[in-house]
Structure 1
Amino acid sequence: MHRIRTALVATTILAAAGAASATDLEVTHWWTSGGEAAAVKAFADAFNAAGNNWVDGAIAGSGDTARATMISRITGGDPMGATQFNHGRQAEELVEAGLMRDLTDVAEAEGWIDLVHPKGLLDACTVDGKIYCVPVNIHSWQWIWLSNKAFEDAGVPVPSNWDEFVAAAPALEAAGKIPLAMGQQSWQTSGAFQVLMVALAGPEVFQKVYGDHDAEVAAGPDVARVFKAADDARKMSQKSNVQDWNQATNLVITGKAGGQIMGDWAQGEFQVAGQVAGEHYTCLPGLGINEVISTGGDAFYFPKLDDEELSAAQAKLASLMLSKQVQVDFNLKKGSLPVRGDVDLAAANDCMKKGLEILAKGNIISDTNQLMSPDSLGQINDLFVEFFNDNNITPEDAQERFAQIVAAAD
């Protein structure tokens, strides 16, 4: 009995020592919907299982709101342990100010340059030859999500492309459905416009406008066609009186709306609701016209911390986020594609498989966050909030203003 008691005491001491050595690391992000919360738990569980403690710093609201809070904390001397940004230039000034940790040592030790695909994702993390972030997924805007039930109720076939979707709008309205679900946040309306541009005008026009800042193309006939389609989208979404993107997704899930133009993160909401791709909902990459994947998504940056224990925890988290199993666990829940090309995604649903096939073909475009500064994109966002909320702004007037923003973009 004495030996058993001694063993129990020793076990208790070891457990206490292990708990005491666990490092708390605050991680800020804007993943607060049901599907997003399920996905971020995959990161937290892996980090905690490695002997540390994920302190969740979810910030409610849009990504723009969250980023403002994150940047304010970092520049104000109250940094978190790790923070989410999108692929691209959102953390550029923080890196240039010397406030973010250089992860090159971790990246080189684990061969990130050979693991991350497409390579441009790691390039977006690189400043002056040094790597400052961990890309964790590929999220593409280029999708429309359709409610099979809504079209069945309306007595029309599920569309196979954008033109068929527009043609079905009167039948949906007659059946009491909202043709197009759309939240009222600025990034949602401008994002829908970008999807329309790639689908209708093509990837080359998209690159000239957002990548090359070609104001002549932005003012030309190809983009005029896109603004006409945006006007159609505006009319079809008039009764979509919701704010958040996931509320709009829920209108599709419940059959109250015909469809939603939204990134593949919407898949997480369908999954949480128990819906099956191909049975309850249909997904059309590139609106069924131009099947491409934009290489947007999320990356994690690590502010510089003057604490060896916290720095070690940062390195561990960075490593885990790119590990094979965590990439699978996270992305299957998030609805996004992994940044590693060597992981097993046998459990992927029909829509994710479509995305993987497009990615494998190399049909990719850069995300707007990789092509324009946050300030320029903010001006475009503001324009589309006005356009979608004020029918007095004609497509021609909106296009003229758009071309002026593109001309001055950086």
Structure 2
Amino acid sequence: MRYRHMTAIFAATVALNFAAPASAVDLEVTHWWTSGGEAAAVGEFAKAFDATGNKWVDGAIAGSGGTARPIMISRITGGDPMGATQFNHGRQAEELVEAGLMRDLTDLATKEKWAEIVHPKSLLDSCTLDGKIYCVPVNIHSWQWLWLSNAAFEKAGVAVPKNWDEFVAAGPALEKAGIVPLALGGQPWQSAGAFDVLMVAIAGKDVFMKVFGDKDAEVAAGPEIAKVFKAADDARKMAKGSNVQDWNQATNLVITGKAGGQIMGDWAQGEFQVAGQVAGKDYTCLPGLGVNEIISTGGDAFYFPLLEDEEKSKAQEALASSMLDPTTQVAFNLKKGSLPVRGDVDLGAANDCMKKGLDILAKGNVIPGTDQLMSQDTQKQKEDLFSEFFANPSITPEDAQKRFAEIIASAD
């Protein structure tokens, strides 16, 4: 995929999309973007929507998606829907769609040719159920990154690692210097996500897809995954001094040099940016943990609950259009640290880490996110397992792998 300069045609499209409606409408938008970098990014969506003559009413819910989603779902099923709401790409809103509570966006998507501008195709596929499109993908967020503090390694007297093995080997030197080797927050999705990243890096794409795509319990119980659990055991030993809960608190440990590194998605870039740090100078990023340069094509999408108010329904369409506008895509994703879903925009302002992601994406070295492959019930079981594994060193890698294989055997 080539990222090229926006054309005059796009400028004309922007003018049409952003034409003021007959009457301004307040539209509540719920999301869980509350960290510094996230707030800066979501502000770009609000600005673009307000430019249509409507008004973005911010419905930020503090905490992670795991905290926010039940609240969002309860409101929609309870008859108090918002105008639009964030979910991740995949199956998180599947039951709401099946219950007829989400708006069908197929006509708008056809009119604006989303199938031609959204890349990779899997993003729009994740919004599609029974041939109808129910959401707007807004970014590509990849989990497969190791973020490193250059200052921490300088203080420890060791070179900045180039891969996972070098990072593990540097652990004792970091600890001796009073630095936590690996920052890891206490939220279950963080430990489960770290394991998924380790799986791709160490066992490879084919094994990842057999386990999470094919739900192959035999592979999950096999020797390749045993290597991954060994690496996860190393990770939990390195993370034992983190003592933080939220992901951005863990990122801050890296930013301040109190931790050597963090396994986290590319949304961490937003925090480095807000802190004024420069990729390649103050921090180093290793896609695929420097072992296997593959990125996942998960991310965020917005769904639009069915509303009886006709004017608000029109405002929903204006919001959907503005989110995919090329100018908005660039502004939002540069601040979010993610990649745009449009392959036809100018990303000349991208930093070194984003450029690495773009290069990997262009080569097609991608995998789906686990949210796209498994139900939320299975995801929750996996999160519970790894939350317990990382918190309780008495659980052996062998015992944890056995439980993991049982989860995969019953996965849907």
Give the TM-score, by structure 1 length: 0.95
User: Which residue of the other structure, out of 214, 237, 240, is the alignment partner of 2:239?
Assistant: 237
- One-letter amino acid of the counterpart of residue 330, structure 2: V
| Preserved contact between residue 28 and residue 57 of structure 2 (Cα < 8 Å) | yes
Deviations 1:48-87 (Å, cap 9, x if unpaired)? Answer: 1110100000001120110000000000000000000000
SS in 1 for 2:212: helix
C-alpha distance in 1, partners of 2:180/2:62?
Answer: 27
Q: Percent identity?
A: 78
Distance in 2, matches of 1:108 and 1:323, equals 15
> Which residue of the partner structure matches residue 287 of structure 1?
289
SS of equivalent residue, structure 1 residue 300: strand
CA deviation after TM superposition for structure 1 residue 285, in Å: 0.2
Distance 1:19 1:106 in 2: 16
Match in the other structure for 1:378? 380
For 2:367, which of 348, 365, 368 is the aligned residue? 365
- Per-residue displacement from partner, 1:245-288 (whole Å, max 9, x unpaired)? 00000000000000000000000000000000000000000000
For 2:119 and 2:180, the matched residues in 1 are separated by 38
Unaligned runs of 5+ in 2: 1-19
User: In 1, Cα distance between the equivalents of 2:90 and 2:77?
Assistant: 19
1:142-161 paired onto structure 2 within 5 Å = 142-161=144-163
TM-score (norm 2): 0.95
In the other structure, the counterpart of 2:37 is 35
CA root-mean-square deviation: 1.0
Tell me the matched-pair count: 393
1:114-155 deviation digits (Å, cap 9, x = unpaired): 000000100110111111000000000000000000000000
SS in 1 for 2:59: strand
CA shift for structure 1 position 20: 10
1:186 to 172, 188, 205: 188
Partner in structure 1 of residue 351 of structure 2: 349
Query: Which consecutive residues of structure 1, in runs of 5 or more, have no partner in the other structure?
Result: 1-17
Counterpart position of 2:70: 68
Q: Give 2:308's aligned residue.
A: 306
Structure 1 segments (4+ residues) deviating >4 Å: none
Amino acid at match of 1:94: L
Q: How does 1:106-185 map to 2 (within 5 A)?
A: 106-185=108-187
For residue 256 of structure 2, what is the aligned residue in structure 1?
254
Q: Distance in 2 between matches of 1:237 and 1:202?
A: 24
In the alignment, which of 226, 229, 239 is matched to residue 228 of structure 2? 226
Partners of 2:247 and 2:76 in 1: how far apart? 27
CA distance in 2, matches of 1:20, 1:208: 52
Pick aligned residue for 1:316 from 307, 315, 318: 318
Residue aligning to 1:48: 50
Residues 189-238 of structure 1: CA distance to partner in whole angstroms, max 9, x if unpaired? 00000000000000110001111110000000000000000000000000
Deviations 1:302-335 (A, max 9, x none): 0000011000000000000001000000000000
For residues 223 and 399 of structure 1, what CA distance do their matches in structure 2 show?
8
Q: Which residue of 2 aligns with 1:405?
A: 407
* Alpha-carbon distance in structure 1 between the residues aligned to 2:178 and 2:319: 48
CA–CA separation in structure 2 for the residues paired with 1:254 and 1:408: 42
Q: Which residue of 2 aligns with 1:327?
A: 329
Q: After superposition, what is the alpha-carbon deviation per residue over 1:13-65, rounded to whole angstroms, capped at 9, x for unaligned?
A: xxxxx999320000000000000000000000011111010000000112011
Cα separation, 2, equivalents of 1:372 and 1:27: 26
Instruction: For 2:409, give the aligned amino acid.
Output: A
Conservation of the 8 A alpha-carbon contact between 2:21 and 2:52: no
